[in-house]
Structure 1
Amino acid sequence: MSATLCVLFNHAYPNNIPIIRKIYEGRFKNIIFIMPFARNVGDDVITSYRGSFSFQGMIADAAPRLSEYKSDYYVFVQDDVLLNPALNEGNIEKFLGIGPKMAFFPQFYSLSGPIHRWFWTTRVVWRLFYSHNSLGGSGAEMALKYLPPKEFAEEKAKRYGISCAPITYDNIENCKVPHFSSSEHTRSLNKSLMDGLFFSAHEKRSIILPYPFVFGISDFFVLHKDVFDEFVHFQGVCAGMDLFAEVAIPSGLMVCAEQVVQCKDLGLEVDWVWGNSRENLDISYLKEKLNENFLLIHPVKLSKMGDSIDKIIEMASAFHQSPK
């Protein structure tokens, strides 16, 4: 069994590459770095010309090079995610409960309900319904027909208890809370955009998406080689539509893989650290969290960890098991 580790960068931080390589080199034989814009960084670095909202496009760009490795699994991880040191190439099937034609994704959710439920929903709806709009369109008005049939995707969604219910206008004032923007002006603009989105909706002011998309934090996922080609195509189409990556990636896995294993299926935990604690992770916290039930911690900002870097590498080495 073999696995290629694909490290995705939202921004160009080439100085972090040697650190990441030391953390994972004993656990994965093949490690590839996918980085936006920076050129001539190294033979194991693929340059992509995408922004951080479209890292699914980075995957599509890198696919020809990745396919050369002919691995059984492709493991995608963001550069600021620290995986459990016990996870390696040799035990990935057992650790994540996956096999042929399968994938792993931490957890995905239905893209339905009040539009303020997830603040990226607005972007998704604009791209899908107003692709010709000069302000927020993509110009990819015919792209959906190149995804697997809607009926097939809906059947896949039902397997995971995913509702294809409408997106609704309820409590639209919630779109003006701070997490939608740091600027009061743009938060007010968001509400105006919501009004525009729902202007032509029927009297119940709800929008039914033309495809059963889901969403979820996409900073770590794994797929089998038999899923790779269809998944890459799905990502390329979504990149063309300029959908947000955290819709494109879980939706592509749900539709293209025969089964997607999630953390809840295995009793695994993830720690998506937000707020002020993003910059204050220390080595003792990492050691406490990365026990056998924890899959990952995010974000671990390597460029800001200082002297803790050597301890992180040492901690990873202590768990080292040679890939089999």
Structure 2
Amino acid sequence: MSEVVLIIIYNHKYDKNIEILEQIYKDRFSNIYHLIPFYTGEKKNVIPVYESSYNFQGYVSQGFKTYFKEEYKHYFFVADDLILNPIINETNYSQHLHLKSKTSFVPETIGLHERGEFWTHVVKAFNWNVNLPGVEAKNELPDYATALQLFSNFGLEIKPLTYLQLYKKQEFPGLAKIKKFQSYYSWKKTLIENKNKEFHLSYPLISSYSDVFVISADSIKQFIHYCGVFASTGLFVEIAIPTAIVLSADEIVIEKDLELKGGALWTPEQCEILDKYDRKLELLLNDFPEKLLYLHPIKLSKWNTAL
């Protein structure tokens, strides 16, 4: 039996993608599950989940008892709009991802203080409250000092945030010149007053692109527990998942340690890599960029998916 299970995470109820993704992966992975919000169908390997896509770590927790098996060594999670390099399969995934039995994978581990100026999810992380009313979650996480030590074990630092990371640089379109000057002056004064102020997180948190990650069998139970805690308290997924990995993993590998690198396509220039495929999935799979671990996003509804 295969030692890995592929678990495909859907942000939305795209049932039509089930068969397409089965076609893509069925010859490469013997064990496949789909986590789909509000699924009402009959397929045995499709697990209905009930959570916001902004907190899809909750999907992982809710589906756990269905996809868990003692014989699995790794749990390989991918988004439904992410296409893994076709060379990766259940027999060689550990070589490509440099995974030993106790190793987990996440694309990156970026401290929130390293995120540069304003990112709305840094603000939400700063305001995140484990003591959310109606959720008794505080004692379900390691205490601050223990969490800090776990971060330190991986060489990760938790540093304070700056004012400009939490308060967006102000612009004043449409205001009359005098009003614009007054508003700008007021904002600049506030900035100067807070220039050297340090803003400390209430709990150690890390960030990462999270549309692909792998969890070792040794870590999976603790990992899904922390994912559930973070989902119930509303922590954004790209902070929740990497933080849960740091808190639960014995060893972590990230993309910079690999020969294959990620292919996240966010700008028009980055998307040009897809031009030669003419939105034909078969062409992409037959001529996948050989140095890329994955391509994301690939919105299958916009592609010719005949294989």
Q: TM-score range by the shorter chain?
A: 0.7 to 0.9
Match of 2:218? 226
Relative to structure 1, the CA distance from residue 163 to residue 121 in structure 2 (aligned partners, 3 Å threshold; closer, same or farther) is same
Counterpart for residue 157 of structure 1: 151
Tell me whether 1:253 sits opposite 2:251 in the alignment: no
1:119 maps to amino acid: T
Is 1:273 the counterpart of 2:265 in the alignment?
Answer: yes
Large movers: runs of 4+ above 3 Å: 113-117, 129-132, 171-177, 202-205, 275-292
Aligned 8 A contact 2:82 2:296 in 1: yes
C-alpha change, 1:71 and 1:287, in structure 2 (3 Å) is closer
Q: Report the counterpart of residue 67 of structure 1 in structure 2.
A: 68
Cα pair 2:111 2:206 within 8 Å, conserved? yes
Letter in 1 for 2:22: R
Aligned pair count?
Answer: 280
Aligned to 2:180: none
In the TM superposition, residue 127 of structure 1 has moved relative to its aligned partner by: 2.4
- Structure 2 matches for 1:1-324, cutoff 5 A? 1-68=2-69, 70-112=71-113, 116-128=117-129, 131=132, 139-140=134-135, 142-170=136-164, 174=168, 204-276=196-268, 281-282=274-275, 284=277, 286=284, 290-306=288-304, 309-310=305-306, 313=307
Q: What's the offset of the Cα at 1:129?
A: 7.5
Show CA shifts across 1:218-251 (max 9, x none).
0000111111100011101101111001111011
The amino acid of 1:230's aligned partner reads Q
Q: Could you say what secondary structure the match of 2:245 adopts?
A: helix
- TM norm structure 1: 0.78
Give the residue type in structure 2 aligned to 1:146: E
Where does structure 2 lack aligned partners over 5 or more consecutive residues?
172-186, 279-283
CA–CA distance in 2 between the matches of 1:92 and 1:247? 25
SS at match of 2:129: helix
Check conservation: 1:113, 1:168, Cα contact below 8 A.
Answer: no
Distance in 2, Cα, partners of 1:287 & 1:46: 26
Structure 1 partner of 2:177: none
1:171 and 1:108 mapped to 2: Cα distance?
A: 18
Would the alpha carbon gap of residues 21 and 175 (structure 1) be closer, same or farther in structure 2, given more than 3 Å must change? farther
Percent of pairs identical after alignment?
Answer: 30
Corresponding letter in the other structure for 1:27:
R
* Aligned residue in 1 for 2:174: none
The 1-side partners of 2:131 and 2:116 are apart by 16
User: Within 2, Cα distance between the matches of 1:169 and 1:104?
Assistant: 32
Aligned-residue Cα RMSD (Å) equals 2.9
Which protein has the larger Cα radius of gyration, Structure 1 or Structure 2?
2
Q: Which stretch of structure 1 is more off in the superposition, 153-162 or 47-56?
A: 153-162
How far the C-alpha of 1:115 sits from its partner, in A, is: 7.7
Alpha-carbon distance between aligned partners in 2 of 1:65 and 1:129, rounded to the nearest angstrom: 27
Deviation by residue 1:255-289 (Cα, 9 ceiling, x = unmatched): 21111101111233111101457987446384698
Q: 1:69 to 1:79 in 2, by over 3 A?
A: farther
For residues 289 and 84 of structure 1, the distance between their equivalents in structure 2, rounded to whole angstroms, comes to: 10
Structure 2 counterpart of 1:321: none
Partner amino acid, structure 1, of 2:277: S
TM superposition shift of 1:161: 3.4
Q: Tell me if structure 2 keeps the 8 A contact 1:114–1:167.
A: no
Instruction: Say if 1:30 and 1:125 are closer, same or farther in 2 by CA, change over 3 A.
Output: same
Distance in 2 between residues matched to 1:10 and 1:128, nearest whole Å: 24
Cα pair distance change 1:171/1:298, threshold 3 Å: closer
TM-aligned CA distance change 1:171 to 1:126, over 3 Å: closer
Structure 1 distance, partners of 2:230, 2:69, is 23
Kindly indicate whether the alpha-carbon contact (under 8 Å) linking 2:107 and 2:212 is maintained by their aligned counterparts in 1: yes
Q: Which amino acid aligns with 2:292?
A: F
